[in-house]
Structure 1
Amino acid sequence: MENRNLLTAGLAILVGGALLISGIAPFDRLTWVMEVAPAVIALVLLAATRKTYPLTTLLYILIAVHALVLIAGGTWSYARVPLGFWLQDLLGTARNPYDKIGHLLQGFVPALVAREILLRGTYVRGRRMCAFLCICIAMAISASYELIEWGAALWLGQGADEFLGTQGDPWDTQSDMLMALIGSSAAMLLLAGWHDRQLAKSPAA
């Protein structure tokens, strides 16, 4: 239990520190605010529920990784993240693909969050039905985010280009949701067993 507390504290310090550093001189201040907002909301919720509804260690780690991806996207804007340029050269893609990493995790992590809530609350019976519902929830979150991006585009006009990160791709919305589908499906296929073992050892199990 002590090791778990140290780990979660370390993750909180890591993400909080990255957030503070990223806010010093981001590429675009408004884009930074919009991109890191989900990470800030997650930090507040996790801090508020750490005693009443502690999550599995696996989930805390994945949420921290997702938050760091969001923070990097807010710092440079998704089209300019250095890791994305390295991947672009490696894969030979026409655009910086860092945005797709974010949307892959947008499916991967929320699907496991949904799985933890559904299984701990015994809201659903059967692992296959649980996996199906988790993927559906992740896709609903992905679609909702695309609607938020659409709203930002209408509100900000050309000023929303950095937030949208489309890089001129007319099919960006569809490919974003495809990445979320791949991420959520991969989470169910690859981590369900590990997640089950963590749930069995969870202090709230």
Structure 2
Amino acid sequence: MPKSHKLVYAIYVVVWIIMAINPKYPQDWLLENVLVFLIFPFIVWMDKKHNYSLISIILLLIFASLHSLGTHYTYAEMEHFDGITQFFGFERNHFDRLVHFLFGLLIFRILFEMITPGISSIKTALLFTFTMVISISTLYEMLEWLAAITFHPELGIAFLGTQGDVWDSQQDTLAAMIGALINLAFYKNYKKLLDYNRDR
């Protein structure tokens, strides 16, 4: 694994440790980080095996760091976003919506690199990646709901972050979809990446 990748992972570990100190709701923090405990080692292992591009690792670091920030304060009560909420006159804190959008925007590239080996058609590769983003986003919403009602139903809004919005899950998935769609505008860059990965 390149040293640059190790540095990115090390930066994330430092960010994660800082955000793990005295979270607002410890039980919520633990639930929100279950997937991190599972996915982070998997990403490192896959990177060692397939050597993903540095930019995809950096984009993943940005998203993961924002997720850590959200788990520290909870997405519904992320106080550093209150200024934006007040400035635009929003009725709720949209930090969670922003992170869902960034999931589709920032995670798209590493998913593309993961699933495209063996795929020769750029249209198929992009469609498959786009579908994966939506599927993962939808699955997360379902797992989030199941975790809340199974383990800590008393956490309520602190964990689910619905803030009284009955369409919260659907809008979160839509935000991720929009983020993923933006990547399709960089069709030519992804075609070059597909050709590069195929020729390696």
* Change in CA separation of 1:133 and 1:46 when aligned onto 2, cut-off 3 Å: closer
| 2:42 is the alignment partner of 1:45 | yes
Structure 1: unaligned runs, 5 residues or longer: none
The residue aligned with 2:63 is 66
Structure-1-length-normalised TM-score: 0.85
Q: 1:107 to 1:89 in 2, by over 3 A?
A: same
Question: Are residues 1:84 and 2:89 paired?
Answer: no
User: What are the residue-to-residue correspondences of 1:163-178 with 2, within 5 Å?
Assistant: 163-178=159-174
Indicate if the aligned counterparts of 1:22 and 1:75 stay in contact, CA closer than 8 A: yes
Alpha-carbon deviations, 1:7-34, whole Å to 9, x = none? 3222112110111111120011121122
Equivalent position to 1:182, from 158, 178, 183: 178
Q: Percent identity?
A: 23
- Which of the residues 13, 16, 37 maps onto 1:16? 13
Please give the per-residue CA displacement for 1:150-199, whole angstroms capped at 9, x wherever unaligned: 21232222323211111111110111111011011112224x44444456
The question of whether the paired residues in 1 share the 8 Å contact of 2:122 and 2:190 is answered with no
| Separation in 2, partners of 1:8, 1:194 | 21
- Out of 19, 27, 38, the position equivalent to 1:30 is 27
Q: RMSD value over aligned CA atoms? A: 2.4
Which sections of structure 2, spanning at least 5 residues, go unmatched? none
Are the equivalent residues in 1 in contact too, given 2:12–2:61 (CA < 8 A)? yes
Match of 1:158 in 2: 154
- Tell me what 1:96 maps to: 93
Q: Deviations over 1:97-121 (max 9, x none)?
A: 1001221123234432332123223
